[in-house]
Structure 1
Amino acid sequence: VVCMNSLTVNLHLMMATFYRPTKSRFKILMEEPAFPSDTYAVKSQIAHHGFHPNESLLLARPEEGEFTVRSEEIEDMLEKHGDEIALVLFAGVNFFTGQLFDIAKITAAAQQRGCLVGIDLAHAIGNVPLSLHDWNVDFAVWCSYKYLNSGPGAVAGAFVHERHATNRELPRFAGWWGNDPATRFRMHLQPDFVPVLAADAWAISNPPILSMAPLRSSFAIFDEAGGMKPLRKRSQKLTGYLQFLLDQLGSESFTVITPRAPRERGCQLSVLAHERPQELFANLEAANVKCDFREPNVIRAAPTPLYNTFHEVWRFAQILSGHR
């Protein structure tokens, strides 16, 4: 694991290594909707390699009338196109619907067909337990200003599986901070780049230590809370309580588009408002309820176990109940 840059910059750095298309295997599989910045990066990488995004980007889509992607759809895409897919790039938790994907299952199915696997953990890290090494994920990237609580523009991170991190022959964009520390400061006396045998080999420049201070403070709070296991347990209770309260409101005014099964979601519930969604969001803001709005009519609410309470969840539901 290495802390560096921002999520999209790290995605480009990872794709410089892990997206190596050939004439027969050049496609990338993502979920729909994928986070726009990921899509921009992927399309630009495809074009950079001389391919056309319309022909090279595959999307696993929800069934008609549904909001989340069925595992069968992902399996079907891999079965049909696996021999053409160079990279499978999925979110751990989808930014729009809050769907938690079975990363281990997707990784195993993709690698069985010869595909490499990358995961965008922007909405998963600090939200759900992760075992990237055990799941055999090739690489992952994330930001730290959501559940890691480090503020907008905070230093992001990347994971590279050990089997790749210890392979000095892999192509990559190199910079002096990724060089082996034993020779890093010999500079002109030893000008050949020798990657350190870790994810740090993908670092380009030295880390911004002042910008990393919030990360250290945030990690200390996670440690104080006992790590992800107890936080996940409390999270499921908080979000389950929110689901229960929303169920009481009925489906005439709102539809929760996040999966109901706790194992298929993190903190977030995405609430589709059928009437006057922007007015509802303004009412929430006026009541100091911090969630966000996604066009055209979805409000994302994420009761977070580190600091949210059951009473706050109840207050949120009460505001929604008055919007009918």
Structure 2
Amino acid sequence: MKTVVLLTTGGTIASKRNPKTGLLISGALTGKELSSMCELPNDLTVDVQSLFQISSNQMTFQLLLELKEKIEDVFKDKAVDGIVVTHGTDTLEETAYFLDLTIADERPVVVTGSQRAPTEIGSDAFLNIRQAILAASNDHLKGIGTTVLFNEKILSARYIKKVHASNLDGFRVNGYGNLGTVDREEVHLYQRPVQRELHSNVVELPSVDIIPTYLGGDGRFIRAAVTSGAKGIVIEGAGRGHVPPLAVDEIRNAINQGVVVLLTTRADEGLVKVVYEFEGSVEHLLQQGVLLGRDYDSKKARIKLATLLAAKYNKEEIQMLFNQ
């Protein structure tokens, strides 16, 4: 009989209603309380362990490291076939990608959550947990890194996005498709990532900020990030990655002070790429020393940049790894 460890961290999937206010208390249920409400697979051993009881807006870099260490500790037991992490949906995509980058073990790690609380009508909590456990026990998921199970879909941690604030179909992978599905009890894997990126030697994550750009924007938030001690800045540019000319001086100043600046696009799909020649264009920013984030969205780029800085890669190596 296969064994799956269910690590619970809180979130909507572990919430219950405050009888006085009628509002949900995120993370109020322990792992044991949550699992007792589920119809878990009978042909698997499921070991339930509560790690955190928080709403996912409380997740921090330090808690990510604690979760990583817990997963590595669980995998010391060779009898464990896979791990499921339940998580709030607000920051689920960031946590899943961090685990994908840093967990070296080949056994499956599957992250799931829910858009509705367990006590709400039409809750997706129980099906997502059950199917995540089935996915984590499936040998076909070995060696592909951390995945996300949501609404019967097996999704890539690198590309997954929360695309709806409340709808049950709240997570998707635009442009790349699902890795597979779970149809009732059957796990189907349709595609695997071409390569897996791994940086497990991470013990402390530096401060990295995301700065969006917009019509008429300037560099004051970039300056604030540098002043507050950011080691990296992810710029969310428009289109191919363009920024307003008023922001360029502060970008240059940040780089001159040793801050690594990485350029992404606010578009849902497409590459940051040199196409145009004007002030604030990708070509112009490259001349200032900005790195290009290809098709990474800003949240994933931040997680990856912080991980690479923690792993002591230099700027040339960081650019090479973003090019993969």
The verdict on a shared fold, with TM-score over 0.5 as the criterion, is no
TM-score of the aligned structures, taking structure 2 as reference length: 0.30
More helix per residue: 1
More strand per residue: 2
TM-score of the aligned structures, taking structure 1 as reference length: 0.30
